[in-house]
Amino acid sequence: MFSSLLASSIAFSVASVAIIIAGSKLARQADKLADQTGLGEAIFGVVLLAGVTSLPDFAATLSAALAARPDLAMSNVMGSMAVNLAFLGVADIAYRKANLEHAAASPINLMLAGLLIVLLTLPLLAVFTPTINQWGIHPVTPLIIIAYLFGLHLVHRTRANPMWFPRQTHQTVSDEPDTAHHGSSTTAWLGFIAMAVLTGLAGWVLMEAAKAIADQTDLSDTLVGGLLTALATSTPELVTTIAAIRIGALTLAVSNIFGTNCFNMLVVAAADAGYVQGSIYHDMAPVQMTWGLVSILMTAILLLGLVRRQTYGIGRIGFESALILGVYAVALGVVVMTQ
């Protein structure tokens, strides 16, 4: 699609900026719609906002899978999940009133963290199973979809009839509808959909440019996917999370990250379905699963933080945020050095 390195770099930059602009608008629209629809920040963040912010990952990963580039596809989606979790550490730094995991305490966020760990183990198990490719997909692929849908059911049941309640403190920001939102729901939906389309198109352009950059330089698909495209396609999560914090929608901020990563497991399933050469889990380089293992570790650390609910840490940063940022930095350094 792009014949020169300069054209590829320009397209990559423009697509990244488009994703940033769209992401900055999505949080406000999502917060309005969460109140107007009555779904609440947590459910809206898990189902709709997470799906929209995952569109760049979906478009980029599927594009690479269809082009028979399993390393580029899987390093992008797996690397995106790790960087999304690191963004929660960045968001904690941005929220100065208290530890973010303390202020955004919610049984739904606990449920999402557990669900994400379950979903992340499935492609790891597929790597160590015999090469089975029934009807063009690995048996683990439909299992990922079933587990995701069942997980959404559990999340809905948790919201409707919670059996665990966080202890309310002065720093806790509850997910309460804002009755001051009087704008038109039609306008909000149109704006939300327009930004969703923009992020999806930008994600596709981004991966096309990334493939050209990988071809025209000595950078490997693993490095391009796990570093460049993973960071770029994850920009909506960072932008929407920071924007949600600035407007006080803390539950939306946290549930967006966990929900996006859970939705990204559907992207993994789509990559296997789009990769017609066989099972993508067996044709990709084993290093891709490094990001999966790192994401499990980071999610478990965040889950500890959500349960512990430390009010203040060193520099008002929770212990879990410092740990996940350190884990991500070490993992990124290892991947870069091994390529």
pLDDT in tens, 22-32: 777 776 677 67
State the pLDDT at residue 240: 76
Question: Contacts by 143-147 with C-beta closer than 8 Å and gap 24+?
Answer: 144/119, 144/265, 144/266, 144/268, 144/269, 145/266, 145/269, 147/115, 147/118, 147/119, 147/122
Length of the chain: 339
State the pLDDT at residue 40: 62
User: Which residues pair with residue 134 across a beta bridge?
Assistant: 137
Examine residue 139 and state whether it is found in any structural domain, yes or no: yes
* pLDDT beneath 50: ranges in the chain: none
The CATH number of whichever domain residue 28 belongs to comes to 1.20.1420.30
Domain ranges, residue 72: 5-174+184-338
| C-alpha to C-alpha distance for 131 and 58, rounded to whole angstroms | 24
State the pLDDT at residue 180: 56
Examine residue 103 and state whether it is found in any structural domain, yes or no: yes
Residue labelled with tokens 């803390």: 250
State the pLDDT at residue 328: 92
Residue labelled with tokens 């920071």: 242
State the pLDDT at residue 3: 65
State the pLDDT at residue 42: 61
State the pLDDT at residue 147: 95
Q: Max alpha carbon distance in the chain (Å)? A: 58
Q: How many CB atoms lie within 10 A of CB 125?
A: 11
Closest among 313, 302, 280, 314 to 78, alpha carbons compared: 280
Examine residue 179 and state whether it is found in any structural domain, yes or no: no
State the pLDDT at residue 27: 64
State the pLDDT at residue 296: 95
State the pLDDT at residue 179: 53
Examine residue 19 and state whether it is found in any structural domain, yes or no: yes
State the pLDDT at residue 174: 60
State the pLDDT at residue 176: 57
State the pLDDT at residue 39: 63
State the pLDDT at residue 149: 93
Domain count, the chain: 1
Confidence (pTM): 0.81
State the pLDDT at residue 326: 93
State the pLDDT at residue 120: 94
